[in-house]
A and B are shown apart, each in its own frame.
Chain A
Amino acid sequence: MSLLFPLASHAAPEGAACTKDCAAPAIAALVEGLKRPLPAQTAYTEVRFVQMLEAPLVLRGELEYQSSAELGKKVTSPYVENTTIENGQVRIERPGKPAKRFSLKRAPALAGFLESFSATLAGDAQRLARSYELSHSGDAAHWQLTLKPRDPALAKQVRQVLISGEANTPLCFEVEEAGGDTSLLLVDKLAGQPLADPPQRAALQQLCRGRP
């Protein structure tokens, strides 16, 4: 099932009894609208701005989301690489190489993405609010949700996660690392978008905000 297809839900937002670190009603309504049935999958394009590199890395592939604890990230271009995250463990496989395995805790950017991504797909604003300070801008047609980690350890690694989308569909996940590196993940209808070579960060951000 595509991420494009929202799951109709008329139930009251969960966490109605929320007393601490609560999401504002507007944000709660927005996130509630993003709920998708599982498993979900989508093509993606990831643009990584790494300080060590002159040009950003552009990776294309597929995301497979099984549950909040299980995510598959398959790079298909420009090379093949399979990343699976399962119960806090990351496993990276490349053809002809022994698999690398390490804890999700050692990849805070990925952890931040996974947390925001899965809470979004669950339509669970309160869960999101427990881990992040939430703020929101734009309108119902083009919205941005800014997530700042509450956990000081994560905050040392991840400055913020910016989710942008239109209506009931998230389109971009931008993870800003504390070290200055940034990763922009374009999903859904933006996944196949042709990009400039090399892509510019500002232009991508414009794209995410629906202003091509």
Chain B
Amino acid sequence: MSLRSRFGLLLVWLALLAGLLYYVVTGLKVSTDLRSFMPPARTPEQRLLLDEIGEGPGSRLLLLALDGAEPDTLAEISRQLAPRLRTDPRFVRALNGEGDLAALTEDLLPYRYLLSPTLDTQPLDRDFLRAELEQRVQDLGSPAAAWLKPLLGRDPTLEMLKLAEAWAPPGEPERYAEVWFSRDGKRALLLVETVAGGFDPAAQREAMDALQDHFRAIAGDARATLIVSGPGAFTVHINTATSEEANRIGLFDSVGFILLLLIAYRRIGTVAAGALPLLSGGLAGMAALALLFGGAHGITLAFGFTLIGVAQDYPIHLFSHLSRSRTPAEVARLLWPTLATGVASTCIAYLAFFASGVDGLEQLAVFTIVGLATAALTTRFGLVHLLGSRPHDAAESAWLAALWRRLAALPRPRWLAPLLAAAAVAAIAAAPGAFWENNLAALTPAPPELVARDAELRAELGAPDVRYLLVIEGKDAESVLAASEKLDPLLAEVQAAGAIAGYELPSRYLPSAATQRARQQQLPDGEALHAALAAAQQGLPFKPGSFDAFERDVQAARALPLLDAERFFAGPLGLRLKSQLQPRDGHWIGLVSLTGVNDAGALVALAARPDVPAHLLDLKHASESLVAAYRTRVLLSLLAAGLLLAGVVAVALRRRSRIVRVLLPMAVTTLLILACLRLGGVSLSLFHLIALVLAAGLGLDYALFFEHAEDDEREQRRTLHAILVCSASTFLVFLLLALSSLPVLRAIGTTVTLGVAFNFVLALLLARPRQETFPATEK
């Protein structure tokens, strides 16, 4: 092709890519919520987990500490920060310890007599009122008078204060200047609940940024700093750390990779053009996801890009086989059967993921199939036309010729494969330690200093446990609230025994209708209350009529329709109750958060009692069982994929000896990788599995090309060159990942690095046809 038409083709190609990019950017919604990556729940525990993971009150709480300035400055910032956050729609609540007397709106104020527990034990009679009024006289004589005075006329028994205390989180921290402080008095503490789920990194990032913005706006140039902890903060931290490290490694990788290709092919244009097929594959894959699913999970994309990394080998095969005697198009045509066999069998194998029934895996299959096919087709029909006619011929390299001869002379004993396989199986079986790692968090651990700080803040703030949660289910809100009230004394016993430090029940905010009705019936009528009040005031200096507003409120409360969840939800504390009481698929659930769990056994025992109307949700156990279920599906899909792949390869190669030669290296390699990981004490996770699939894909290509090598020695040298460049570049890329400090990157890196090494050696030893082991005569 002429230079001009090559340039034209490049422009058209780039324009197409730009169009795809635009479509992907506008059409593909990337979700980061962990829940959408999980398989459908099977057990009730898993169902609750999927609903609650990231949504449970515990996981949505952020613990805030203000540090680094004078306590008075910090207290002032805290006082301004909390109301600002309350008006921000990204937060459900913001607590800093300030008495929130506005917890009931004006029209709900008379409800205090139905919400406060006072009337359960104490009628509003003369004796009770007398004792209370005596206290109020003393209050008026004390410094507390300043803030109690406005309340007294309407609320002489201070029910609003009792409610405010009951609604404060259990185990309240110390205070300084009205707001929560750490025990050492150096940090102001706040508790903030986000609307976003705790395991949704994008939404949590937004919430964290909002926190910093609000804080900066208030703190101005004060030296104070804001510390944020909690599951959401960890999610953001881990996500940032992982992507930063991945990007850093990616940069080194790219530089190394490009250098390697430049050394191998000596043409800048060739190397640059070689990026186009993979780029096209990635964009086409994402466009397919946008078209078919409208969106994709971030993890699907990360796995997907790992898997289509094998497509970078396609241009390499083409480049290494270029010579002056054939046009690039001819070279591509000759290579195509081999390349197509590898691509087609891999693509067909991924079809197995469609049977998994998991959205994330189906998306992965679509992305990978479209991506690989696009990369292969663009290599075959697009890339070849961009290449110049004076390529670097790998076969002319003297050291490659020497290496080829040496490798060709290597002994290839028939017993090698069975021996290695048997040794690997034995090692896998004998290695100690758990085979599977079900705790996804173990792969993305939060730094220990952050965990320690979180524990410290959690203890100071009395924030709820993120692992255990009691769940009440009922046919309606009323039955959940009734069960919650029944649970109250039982949990009080568990608390008294020291198994937990505290608990928070939905009925603490909204008592059941039955309880409200009982309290309502305890309220005296107008005359009785007036008489009792008059008798109680005997000898006390209150002016006549001081408590008219109180009498009016009590009479109003007698006639109130009982407060239901609907109405409470609309009030200032509505969101708070909503996070603990929710309708779901025709029934209602109540969530009881627990604080300072010391003895999970006591909770298990409590939940097992037949009279206890709740069950214990162990989020860790549930998520691990979910991961195990997920993995089972992945394994089944992989098994099916393996069979499909073998079938396609069998159809393509027909002869049994050829089929065995191609499939054996990748099968033995897989066993060897597993053996190495197990001997290294590694428990396997989903990330290892995905990496194993990539390694197998690489191995298939190496074996196919070695197996297919032509009789011509120069052509064989070119094949060797191709596979050397492929494996060296892949090895380099994943070796850096393997050296990462982050377990998740290390898992993928180690597995693929091992895979490349084993696949290369085994393909060399096992895949090449036996009768051609002797060097052909030099042509």
Contact = CB atoms under 8 A, between A and B. Distances in A.
B138 interface: yes
Residue among B138, B142, B144, B176 with max Cβ neighbours from chain A (10 Å): B142
Contact of B138 (A46, A94, A157, A181): A94
B157 to A, nearest CB: 14
Contacts of A157: 146
A165 to B, nearest CB: 23
Contacts of B543: 52-54
A108 B146 CA distance: 7
Interface in B527-546: 541-543, 546
A81 interface: yes
Contact of B149 (A52, A89, A105): A52
Nearest to A101: B175
B146 A92 contact: no
Contacts of B143: 83, 85, 90, 92, 107, 109-110
Nearest to B72: A88
B175 A88 contact: no
Interface string A82-106: 0101011110101001001111111
Nearest to B146: A107
B144 A92 contact: yes
A36 interface: no
A50 B142 contact: no
A57 B142 CA distance: 10
B496 interface: no
Given A107-B143, A179-B149, A55 B541 contact: yes
Contacts of B152: 52
A91 to B, nearest CB: 10
Interface in B151-207: 152-153, 175-178
Given A48-B141, A101-B175, A57 B146 contact: no
A53 B542 contact: yes
B145 interface: yes
A81 B147 contact: no
B137 interface: yes
A89 B176 contact: yes
Contacts of B72: 88
Given A52-B152, A101-B175, A81 B138 contact: yes
Contacts of A163: none
Chain B interface extent, by class: 20 to 34
A45 to B, nearest CB: 12
A50 B140 contact: yes
Interface string B127-142: 0000000010110111
A106 B147 contact: yes
A103 to B, nearest CB: 4
B140 A83 contact: no
Contacts of B141: 46, 48, 57, 59, 75, 81
B147 A107 contact: yes
B67 to A, nearest CB: 18
A52 B542 contact: yes
Residue among B135, B145, B149 with max Cβ neighbours from chain A (10 Å): B145
A32 B546 CA distance: 45
Contacts of B542: 52-54
A79 interface: yes
A70 B146 CA distance: 20
A100 B145 CA distance: 12
A189 to B, nearest CB: 23
Residue among B144, B175, B543 with max Cβ neighbours from chain A (10 Å): B144
Contact of A92 (B140, B142, B178): B142
A87 B258 CA distance: 66
A179 B149 CA distance: 10
Interface string B742-756: 000000000000000
Nearest to A79: B138
A61 to B, nearest CB: 10
B176 A57 contact: no
Contacts of A107: 143-147
Nearest to A114: B143
Residue among B143, B144, B542, B543 with max Cβ neighbours from chain A (10 Å): B143
Contacts of B541: 53-55, 57
Contact of A52 (B142, B178, B546): B546
Given A50-B145, A157-B146, A106 B140 contact: no
Given A102-B147, A107-B147, A83 B177 contact: no
A44 B153 CA distance: 29
B178 A48 contact: no
Given A52-B542, A53-B543, A81-B138, A88 B146 contact: no
Interface string B391-404: 00000000000000
Given A53-B543, A83-B143, A105 B138 contact: no
A157 B147 CA distance: 11
B144 A48 contact: no
Contacts of A89: 175-177
Nearest to B185: A87
A75 B146 CA distance: 18
A52 B542 CA distance: 6
A92 B72 CA distance: 22
A101 B178 CA distance: 9
Nearest to B134: A79
B664 to A, nearest CB: 77
B639 to A, nearest CB: 65
A92 B141 CA distance: 11
Nearest to B540: A53
Given A53-B541, A54-B543, A102 B144 contact: yes
Given A52-B543, A54-B542, A55-B541, A81 B142 contact: yes
A61 B453 CA distance: 46
Closest 9 CB pairs of A and B: A107-B143, A103-B178, A110-B143, A53-B541, A57-B141, A55-B541, A103-B177, A107-B146, A106-B147
14 contacts: A48-B145, A52-B542, A53-B137, A53-B542, A75-B141, A88-B72, A89-B175, A90-B143, A102-B178, A107-B144, A107-B145, A107-B146, A110-B143, A179-B149
Given A106-B144, A107-B145, 19 more contacts: A50-B140, A52-B153, A53-B541, A53-B542, A57-B137, A57-B141, A85-B143, A87-B176, A88-B177, A101-B175, A102-B144, A102-B178, A103-B176, A103-B178, A105-B177, A109-B145, A110-B143, A177-B146, A179-B149
Interface of A: 46, 48, 50, 52-55, 57, 59, 75, 79, 81, 83, 85, 87-90, 92, 94, 97, 100-110, 157, 177, 179, 181
